[in-house]
Structure 1
Amino acid sequence: VDARAAPGDSPEDAARQARYAVFGALRPEPSLPAPVRCVALAHHADDQVETLLLALSRGAGLPGLAAMPARMVRGGVVFHRPLLAVTAAQIRDWLRAQQLPWIEDPSNGDARYTRNRIRAEVLPALERAFGPVHATFARSAAHAAQAQQLLAEVAAGDLAAAGDPPRIAALRQLPRARRANLLRHWLAGQGDAARPSAVQMEALLDQIEACRTRGHRIHLKAGRGAVQRDGEVLRWYNCPPLPKASR
């Protein structure tokens, strides 16, 4: 696949998106009628620790701190990660015992990538200070995942009450934290391109709080698109339209 990143985009994220696109398009032998429904990924315990540390370094919320789930559904395909409790060293030891070769990705040694610096410098330092951290970090990620599941259930209920797209009046009735939770849930449903930064979310919350008149405009960047007021509701546009007066 062509996994080159667009200017300003993460090359790691571009490669990830390209991989999942390929997995989602997989088909079995022509003699079999159904498409591929399940894919097992080889992410292991070291990957999970690195993902959690990356999330912490970026000030991520609960979805980021939950790291990688053992099971997820994407594009109609169920992805499993059966090796999240197994370290990279254990996998290599097993491969040696079975006399099986493997391929080392040459980019794994490239210090330009934060994940590689975590693997080579941060994780060894943590293990020298605290001993093996895989199990304890995995517990923290599991606690974050459980809390995020509860927040998602609350957000789904609030969105059902506010409507989809959400009504501004219904949003204004919610406390700020719960309003933010609903908006993140709603925007996540629009796709990866709609995920707002923390700064964008704060600006949107401020505008909703200030939206007390029919003529109040809302047109704010959110992810790679924009949230805009359309009458009594908010809508997200993948390509930001020109600002217009509210109806």
Structure 2
Amino acid sequence: MTQPFEAAIAAFAPGLPLAVGLSGGADSSALLLACARRWPGQVHAFHVHHGLQQAGDDFVRHCEALCNRLQVPLQVARVDARHAPGQSPEDAARRARYQAFSALAQSASGQPAIKNIALAHHADDQVETLLLALSRGAGMAGLAAMPARWQREGLLWHRPLLQVAGGAVRQWLAEQGVGWIQDPSNRDERYTRNRIRLRLLPVLDEVFPQFRDTFARSSRHAAEATALLRELAEADLAQVGVPPAIRALQQLGAARQANVLRHWLREHCATTPSSAQLQALLAQIKACTTRGHCIHLKVGSGFVQRNNAVLDWYNSALL
């Protein structure tokens, strides 16, 4: 009987050559091994040294040994992934990692150029992402969790293992006789994701054995709803204009106003409002019925203010 891991690899059809993000852990090691076997000579490995722990050098040495064994070219990027004040350590490391992967793809030698990158996130990671989103009161985009495939900066990114439980990935790798390195930070319960993994997932496994499949189904529904909301926002923004006209916004219901304002702020201002900020902005738009009404609100990383008949946003950091 074909294992879930093997079925996922068989269904994976990326463009070649392919780069695999390799941390040295079980998940990425399994993905690299399976891809290298399926497409010999067409697979590269990218490793990011985050500079956050002493064990980082051990991760590099393990990745070098594995890639030598598989005859896979390895590129290593060293980054400073320390988080800024107010930024979560996980988010800082994730951003640094994606930037490093993009840079490695651009610098990789060989023809044709690398345009496809595979990451080893699996079904357990997807559940953790969904639970984190729920704990933060996220909207539809957050509840959609991680996409299986997406495009950014000219690269096509893949997560072929999102339907495979973490245990099945590790079981397959153990059957191949390949070892992996354990990241000690994965046991650190100061991080919310680790507490979810170590405390909640075992309970869910006991109470709702099918939770990976059902949670994934909910995330797919949320992803579909997110796509519809984006289409509606694009259509509404075409009507209200950029920057948005206040009178045109007032012709929309509150939910559509919120949807189009989020879209405008995200796509045209590169910022995201909090729920409280968005509600305050909606209240001001509703109250804006006189020529002298002033709007000046902190929204995201800057301010939204009234400029005659329209709303403007400016970044306070640039002043």
Q: Same fold (TM over 0.5)?
A: yes
> 1:145 offset after TM fit, Å?
0.8
Structure 2 CA distance for aligned equivalents of residues 219 and 37 of structure 1: 44
Alignment of 1:113-124 (within 5 A): 113-124=191-202
Alignment partner, residue 245 of structure 1: none
In the other structure, the counterpart of 1:42 is: 120
Counterpart of 1:48, as a letter, is Q
State the shift of 1:25 in Å: 2.2
Distance 1:97 1:30, change over 3 A: closer
Specify the alignment match of 1:56 in structure 2: 134
CA distance in 2, matches of 1:144, 1:29: 36
**In structure 1, what is the Cα distance between the partners aligned to 2:112 and 2:243?**
38
Matches within 5 A, 1:216-227: 216-227=293-304
**1:225-244 → structure 2 map (5 Å cutoff):** 225-239=302-316
Unaligned residue ranges in structure 1 (runs of 5+): 243-247
Match in the other structure for 1:100: 178
User: Which residue of 205, 208, 217 corresponds with 2:285?
Assistant: 208
TM score, norm. by length of structure 2: 0.71
Letter of the 1:101 counterpart? G
SS class of match (1:83): coil
Task: Give, in whole Å, the separation in 1 of the partners of 2:269 and 2:132.
Answer: 22
Render the CA deviation track for 1:115-145: whole Å, top value 9, x for unaligned. 1001111111122112231001000101111
State the identity as a percent: 60
CA distance in 2, matches of 1:16, 1:84: 18
TM-score normalized by the length of structure 1? 0.91
Partner of 1:160: 238
1:108-187 correspondence to structure 2 within 5 Å = 108-187=186-265
Once residues 316 and 155 of structure 2 are traced to their aligned partners in structure 1, the CA distance between those partners, rounded to angstroms, is 28
Distance between the aligned counterparts of 1:178 and 1:157, measured in 2? 11
What is the RMSD computed on CA atoms of the aligned residues?
Answer: 1.8
124-133 or 153-162, which moves further after superposition?
124-133
Q: Deviations over 1:162-205 (max 9, x none)?
A: 1122111111110001100101111121465x111111110111
Q: How far, CA to CA, are the matches of 1:217 and 1:33 in structure 2?
A: 56
Task: Tell me: higher relative CO, structure 1 or 2? Use CA pairs within 8 A at least 6 residues apart.
Answer: 2
